[in-house]
Amino acid sequence: MKKTELESGLEALLFYSGDIISQRRLCEICNTDLTSINRAISHLNEIYQATNSGIEVIEVDDGYQMCTAAKHLQIIQLYRQKPVKNILTQALIETLAIVAYSQPITRTQIEDIRGVRCEHVISRLLEYGLIEEVGRLNVIGRPILFGTTNEFLRHFGFRNLEEMPKIKEELLEKFKEEVKQEMSYYEEDVHEKEQGIELVQIDEIDE
């Protein structure tokens, strides 16, 4: 199987980047259409499989990334000397699930759902690149909002968030309601504090 100029160029781009390149960006760089890009990527993977290659190109969130073939995970783990299965503890998985199904979400909301403090867990997930800061909640203090990353999708083999396993509808609704309720509690608390500040200021003026 011989590679075309487009396939060879895509291979070079993805290898050099090491990260996800969007389909739109690939079309712009290669000056071609998406159908041609998808066909070239598909043929590259056929070549890799036919030659028992140690690499493959995967689709992640409307983009492509070159990575090591899944069949070689064990040897990669030996090189890293830290098996992936031991990285994600139960606490990390629980917190990651809360973020994935309720994003964007604040640390306080995560802690209210789990019932324990989560600073360390969130720091680890940020360190692993599985979650990231996606904005700020528009209330006093402007707490950070967290969401999942493209690395999260790649790590678990999803192309987008819609491919995540579905949970029971009633459980999902209950889950979302808890987040919504915690949000209202937070806003009420902030409102009460604001009123308290105003009262203190008024009292000081009266004096």
Domain termination site, one of 73, 96, 131: 73
Structural domain count, the chain = 2
Would 204 be classed as within a structural domain? Answer: no
What pLDDT sits at residue 25?
94
- Is the C-alpha dihedral spanning 4, 6, 9, 10 positive or negative? negative
For residues 114 and 19, membership in a common domain is answered with no
Residues 6 or more apart whose Cβ sits within 8 Å of residue 62? 22, 23, 24, 159, 160
Q: Taking the mean position of all CA atoms in its chain, how far away is CA 76?
A: 22
**Taking the C-alpha atoms of 113, 118, 121 and 124 in order, what is their torsion angle to the nearest 10 degrees?**
120
- State yes or no: pLDDT of 182 exceeds 90: no
25-55: pLDDT as tens digits: 999 999 999 999 999 999 999 999 999 999 9
Mean model confidence pLDDT for the chain: 81
The CA–CA distances, whole Å, from 121 to 24, 28, 89 equal 35, 39, 9
For residues 96 and 38, membership in a common domain is answered with no
What pLDDT sits at residue 137?
87
For residues 48 and 115, membership in a common domain is answered with no
- 137: which 2 tokens? 């909640």
- 102: which 2 tokens? 């309720």
**What end-to-end distance do the CA atoms of the chain give, in Å?**
88
What pLDDT sits at residue 204?
45
What pLDDT sits at residue 193?
46
What mean pLDDT comes out for the span 161-174? 71
- State yes or no: pLDDT of 186 exceeds 80: no
For residues 112 and 66, membership in a common domain is answered with no
Spatial contact of 60 and 52, defined as CB atoms under 8 Å apart: no
62-115: pLDDT as tens digits: 899 999 888 887 787 777 665 444 467 888 989 999 999 989 999 989 988 888
For residues 62 and 106, membership in a common domain is answered with no
Domain housing 10: 5-73
For residues 97 and 185, membership in a common domain is answered with yes
For residues 126 and 159, membership in a common domain is answered with yes
> What percentage of the chain has pLDDT greater than the value 70?
76
3-state SS, residue 137? coil
Q: Is the pTM of this model over 0.85?
A: no
